[in-house]
Each structure stands twice: as C-alpha cells, then as structure tokens.
Amino acid sequence: MKILISACLLGLDTKYNGKSNKNEVLIRSLKENHIEFFPLCSEQLGGLTTPREPSEIESGYTAKDILNGKGRVLTKTYTDVTKQYLRGVKNILNFCKKFNITHAILQEQSPSCGYTKVYDGTFSDKLIPGVGILTQLLKDNDIKIIELEDFKKSILN
C-alpha cells in the first residue's frame, strides 16, 4: 500500500499560518509498520506561499462544484485562489496516478483535504459537513481516504 499524506501531518510547516499539524502517533506508526508514504501539500503545489492567507470554499458551494467550474475558493480578504487550488489538486492526482498511490490520509477541515467537515465559507470558524477539493478529486478517482482516527485505531490494535 502506498499512501499520500498531508505534509502538515508529518510535521512539515505547510499550513496557511506557516505551522504544522504534526501527529506523532501517525509518524511513529508509519515508521514502525514500514508503510510507503508520500507527503504533499496541494496548496503549495498549486503555487500558494507558506504562510498564506486562510482560504475557504465560497459559501453555498461544495468541492464538487469547484471541480465543475462553479463557485470559488476565496481568501479572508476575498482574493480568488481557485486556480491555485485546482492546479494543486490536479498535480497531486497526477502524482498519485504516476506512482500508483491507492490511499490518502488527509488533514481534516482544510478546503483541500477535509474529509468529513470543512469551514462554511464565512470565515466565522463554523464547520459544516463536507469534503475538501483534493478529497473529492481523489475519491472521484478511486483513491481511498483513510480517516486519521481510524488509521490510528487500526495500528494501535
């Protein structure tokens, strides 16, 4: 099994605020179980800087809408960064296809990587059910999303 992993989960400072979401249990599990993994950040691969202004999918739209050319991804000051997000997720999908990556562990709540919840597009810290743009694209291409908590439970049991 080859796994794509959100780079921020592995301690790489790729988050919008220049920090990471380092997950020691995940890192230890990957090492101990000799799992082949690839850390990537779709925002960086799309050309956005780190740090960068926080972004959310425009209120009223979904990741599927963005992939279908409807709606936008906006920064907190309403700069349209949809092109960068689309470029980044398409780069990752191409990478996954080239290297036969079949699974992904992604950062929840991100407009790219959220897998059960994303922010509602109002920059009010309100979460709604939904997935990020990368998550949607990977699912549409039969790449299985492994929820981080499920992965940790399976490794720890």
Q: Which helix (H) or strand (E) holds 2?
A: strand 2-6
* Amino acid letter, 41: C
Whole-number pLDDT of residue 155: 60
The SS3 call for residue 56 is strand
Pairwise CA distance, residues 107 & 112, whole Å: 9
Mean pLDDT of the chain: 95
Averaged pLDDT, groups of 10, the chain, 157 residues long: 96 98 94 93 98 98 98 98 98 98 96 97 98 98 91 65
> How many whole angstroms from its chain centre is CA 136?
10
What pTM was computed for the model?
Answer: 0.95
